[in-house]
Amino acid sequence: MPEELRAYIAGFLDGDGCIMAQLVKRSGYRYGYQIRLSIVFYQKSRNRHFLEWLKTKLKYGYVRNRNDGMSEYTIVGKKEVADILRLLKTHLHLKKQLATKIIEISKMIKYPKIRDFLKFCQLVDKTAKYTYSKKRKITTAQVKKYLEEHKLFSP
């Protein structure tokens, strides 16, 4: 991808995008939680075509219309998110430190030992200082409590 296009997309991500690391409760998962990494770009639905164009450039994810007149282009997954962030990171300004942390989280192996999983959960907690999320509810403390209650972890 040309450098100029990478810079343009990075600027768009800095302004109208979001990079997230979340702890998500998942009953079928080994430790009861998933670490989910995602990138989301936002536009009014009348400009959805721009998000579709962006998807052709980045190759991952999906575009959907929301009920509030907005559309979003979402990329989810450790590999996918890390690939995009590595591509754009040198051109990010507002979200460069967050991108660095997310890339670090993406290095988590598929089946980590429980203490390693908790270390990655702590990294997810640290990303909160770089975001404006008001909905964040699950933290490492909740994950640890769940693991202790289910006798999967003892301090």
User: Taking phi first (over 0 means left), then psi (-120 to 50 degrees means alpha), and beta for anything else, what does residue 124 get?
Assistant: alpha
Question: In whole numbers, what is the pLDDT of the chain averaged over residues?
Answer: 93
- What proportion of the chain, given as a percentage, has pLDDT over 70? 98
Residue of 155 and 27 predicted with greater confidence: 27
Average pLDDT over residues 10-36: 93
pLDDT at residue 69, rounded to an integer = 96
Task: Report residue 137's pLDDT band, with 50, 70 and 90 as the boundaries.
Answer: confident
Residue of 131 and 12 predicted with greater confidence: 12
Average pLDDT over residues 97-117: 91
Average pLDDT over residues 16-21: 94
Spatial distance between the Cα atoms of 127 and 124, rounded to a whole number of angstroms: 5
Q: Which amino acid is at 104?
A: E
* 155 pLDDT more than 70: no
Spatial distance between the Cα atoms of 38 and 76, rounded to a whole number of angstroms: 4
Q: Specify the DSSP class assigned to residue 47.
A: G
Asked if 114 and 153 count as a contact pair (C-beta separation under 8 A), the reply is yes
CATH architecture of 3-149: Roll (3.10)
pLDDT at residue 131, rounded to an integer = 81
Domains in the chain: boundaries: 3-149
pLDDT at residue 45, rounded to an integer = 96
- What proportion of the chain, given as a percentage, has pLDDT over 90? 81
Residue of 129 and 46 predicted with greater confidence: 46
* 59 pLDDT more than 90: yes
Average pLDDT over residues 45-63: 97
Average pLDDT over residues 83-91: 97
